[in-house]
Amino acid sequence: MCRLYMMGRSPSSEEKSLKKGPWTPEEDQKLVDYIQKHGHGSWRALPRLCGLNRCGKSCRLRWTNYLRPDIKRGRFSQEEEQIIINLHSVLGNKWSAIASRLAGRTDNEIKNYWNTHLKKKLLQMGIDPVTHRPRTDHLNEILANLPLLHTLFNSTGTTAANNLVNVTLNRLHSDHASQLAKIQLLHNILQLLTSNSNNSPPNILPMNLLHQLPHHPDQLISDLLPLMNNSQQLHGNNGCFTTSSTPQDHQILSADLQSFEAPQPPLKLSQSIIDSQFGSSSPYDHAINNPNHQLPALVSASPVVNQMETSNNIKNIIKSNHDVNSDPCSTSTTFEAWGDLIDDEATDSYWKGFLEQASSQPWPNSD
DNA sequence: AACCGTGGCAACCGCCCACTG
DNA sequence: CCAGTGGGCGGTTGCCACGGT
């Protein structure tokens, strides 16, 4: 028996002669006929009873993954994809648990589909398929480039810096999801920066420009360069651009700040959701034109998740879940991620990572 | 036409746990 | 309590189709 292969003894001659590999139509027919007449009963005895030279486990897998009459074949629908993504964000690689929520789909099929399609899709959308958080590698690249940008402004004029900005932005400008992630990221960074300003008015130079970054990168560049050139006194402060700003600047920036919404949870979305939210127009249009600057709801969650998300007690639920699972090495689930971002302190620590990385790199001396 | 690289997917492997005698 | 067994599970392998050169 298959099991005996793992029990430490060599397989018997009978076991060695058992067929492996692809199933023939004749074998399938024998298996189906037998199970339809008698049920599968003991899988171990089944191959002998129905005249198959296979091990029972092989028969069981063939039946459950392929021959079962309620198996749904064919491509996964958008709705099924979304369900898989949502469930995976909560359950991780528990394919059987996920499969139990998708009628007619097997764990094996879902697992294969995840590995060959959905994982790549999420990566392309700028989402880490393990944590379901926005990928940070691209943003880190931008932050890592800030000192170089500064140097370029001071030493070579605007052309080289412009090129650098363009290259970096273009790398981020791949699709709706990464654009949304970018908005998300910047909102949170800005909030973190300003929350650390010790009651003084925010004086982050590119505040209103960063605001535009996701919407019109080209406009940003054309706005950013003259302002930075004019400021002349650009200097590092924990890795942030700062400048001596005028009262008018403060007014603008304060207005900008007030219009920002609280940080959103990490992105967890699909193209279908994006499309349904935005149609063919840019998500930036939506985000920027919305008078409240409110980012759209990003998640079309499973029913259970929806129920929880609509509860007024969600924060407490998430926090208690988060507190129980305090192992720093454990895989972050979506609930934990939400908890992180709903919790103010956790929000700071989450985004601080980016800033600390940026600030850990010495700023070039502008002299 | 032949070769090669790649992606998709069915099938298998090895581990694990629950159950039973 | 223990060994044997069934069966579930996640991870991996290998075949095949397809497209590019």
* Residue–nucleotide distance: A170 CA to C15 C1' (Å): 40
In angstroms, the CA A182 to CA A264 distance is 12
A266, two tokens? 């990490």
Classify residue A73: in a domain, yes or no. no
Question: Does residue A270 sit in the same domain as residue A338?
Answer: yes
Indicate if CB(A72) is under 7 A from strand B. Answer: no
Query: Which residue do the tokens 């879902």 mark?
Result: A110
Strand B contact residues in chain A (74-133), C-beta within 7 Å: 108-109, 112-113, 115-117, 120
In angstroms, the CA A83 to CA A261 distance is 28
Compute φ and ψ for A237, nearest 5 degrees. Answer: -145, 95
What does the radius of gyration of chain A's CA atoms come to, in whole angstroms? Answer: 27
Lowest mean pLDDT, pick from A96-100, A110-114, A124-128, A243-247: A243-247
Indicate if CB(A148) is under 7 A from strand B. Answer: no
Q: Which domain holds residue A34?
A: 2-19+29-66
Question: Does residue A249 sit in the same domain as residue A175?
Answer: yes
Classify residue A327: in a domain, yes or no. yes
| Domain tally, chain A | 3
pLDDT at A147: 56
Average of pLDDT values for A176-203? 41
Question: Does residue A325 sit in the same domain as residue A352?
Answer: yes
Question: Does residue A59 sit in the same domain as residue A84?
Answer: no
- The answer to whether residue A51 scores a pLDDT higher than 70 is yes
Give strand letter and number of the nucleotide nearest A61 (CA to C1').
B11
CA angle A337, A341, A345 (to 5 degrees): 120
Q: Which residue has the higher pLDDT, A160 or A25?
A: A25
Question: Does residue A208 sit in the same domain as residue A265?
Answer: yes
Classify residue A364: in a domain, yes or no. no
Question: Does residue A248 sit in the same domain as residue A309?
Answer: yes
Classify residue A48: in a domain, yes or no. yes
Classify residue A53: in a domain, yes or no. yes
Classify residue A131: in a domain, yes or no. no
pLDDT tens profile A12-30: 455 556 777 778 878 888 8
Classify residue A289: in a domain, yes or no. yes
Indicate if CB(A68) is under 7 A from strand B. Answer: no
pLDDT tens profile A251-304: 333 333 233 222 333 333 333 333 333 333 333 233 223 323 322 222 222 323
Question: Does residue A154 sit in the same domain as residue A282?
Answer: yes
CA angle A292, A255, A239 (to 5 degrees): 105
Classify residue A133: in a domain, yes or no. no
Indicate if CB(A57) is under 7 A from strand C. Answer: yes
Question: Does residue A324 sit in the same domain as residue A185?
Answer: yes
The sign of the torsion formed by the CA atoms of A261, A263, A268, A271 equals positive
pLDDT tens profile A279-292: 333 332 332 233 23
pLDDT at A158: 53
A268, two tokens? 């967890």
CA distances from A344 to A238, A259, A295 (A): 20, 18, 18
In angstroms, the CA A67 to CA A59 distance is 10
Question: Does residue A100 sit in the same domain as residue A147?
Answer: no
User: Average pLDDT over chain A, rounded to whole?
Assistant: 51
Question: Does residue A146 sit in the same domain as residue A243?
Answer: yes
Compute φ and ψ for A323, nearest 5 degrees. Answer: -65, -40
Strand B contact residues in chain A (27-66), C-beta within 7 Å: 54, 57-58, 61-62, 65-66
Q: How many CB atoms lie within 10 A of CB A288?
A: 15
Question: Does residue A110 sit in the same domain as residue A170?
Answer: no
* Residue–nucleotide distance: A96 CA to C7 C1' (Å): 13
| CB A108, CB A95: distance < 8 Å | yes
Task: Name the percent of chain A lying above pLDDT 70.
Answer: 32
DSSP A44: T
pLDDT at A356: 35
Winning range, highest mean pLDDT, from A16-20, A57-61, A193-197, A248-252: A57-61
Question: Does residue A202 sit in the same domain as residue A326?
Answer: yes
pLDDT at A88: 85
Nearest residue to nucleotide B15 when comparing alpha carbons to its C1'?
Answer: A6
pLDDT at A193: 39
pLDDT tens profile A304-344: 333 333 223 323 322 333 333 333 333 333 333 333 332 33
pLDDT at A1: 30
Strand B contact residues in chain A (233-262), C-beta within 7 Å: none
A55, two tokens? 């091990």
Residue A99's CATH number? 1.10.10.60
> What is the bridge-based pairing of β-strands A240-242 and A235-237?
antiparallel
